[in-house]
Structure 1
Amino acid sequence: MKRLDMDDFNARLTAWDRQQPDGRAGMGGYETYDAISNVPWQSRERVPTAYEHALAGALERAYIDGAKDLDGLAERLNAMNVLRNDGQTWTAGSLAAELEALGR
């Protein structure tokens, strides 16, 4: 089993620094807020798979193309030939289940 390294998750995460308490309000923070960028995936447990990247991109394209609900998303994914991880086509139910599982 590959040992996970912090670079696998977020190479730009600020290195840990032992903080000293500061009695002034707002001055004891862990980051200098004007010098950091918010990376939404910095707390993920693993690197996303190629399948997950492809699905995310296809969902974004489906929304851009006007899909507004699970039925529309599933229809658009199928039209783009973006199949489920098991090679099957999407239904609203299978897409809902997959999004719930990936969102955990």
Structure 2
Amino acid sequence: MSDRTLQPHQARKREPTSFENLLGDSIERAFAAGIHDLAGLVDYLNQAGPTCPGGQPWTEAAYQTLIARLGE
């Protein structure tokens, strides 16, 4: 068995969009602030941005749906 690892950037099919970069940065800031639950993360995104696609406030369902789509 080899000792290889997959770097996340090796698995992506395209460069992230500006929105995806902003979302990732905001999620990282939330984690750094000690927020680790979905409700807290959604609250953080509604305060700090970026806004949910379509301009609506973030909900837990909207976040889960978007992250599932981005993870495909």
Bin for the TM-score computed over the shorter chain: 0.7 to 0.9
Runs (4+) off by over 6 Å: none
Q: What corresponds to 1:45 in structure 2?
A: 13
Query: Based on CA coordinates, which of the two structures has the bigger radius of gyration?
Result: 1
For the 8 Å contact 2:19–2:50, the answer to whether it is kept is no
Take 1:86 and 1:45, find their aligned partners in 2: how far apart are those partners? Answer: 24
| Partner SS, residue 9 of structure 2 | coil
Q: Which has the higher contact order (CA 8 A, sep 6+)?
A: 2
Structure 1 unaligned segments of length 5 or more: list them: 1-25
Q: CA deviation at 1:50?
A: 0.3
Name the TM-score, length of structure 1 as normaliser. 0.59
1:62 equivalent in structure 2: 30
**Quick one: which amino acid aligns to residue 28 of structure 2?**
E
CA-based RMSD: 1.9
Q: Cα distance, 1:53 vs. partner?
A: 0.5
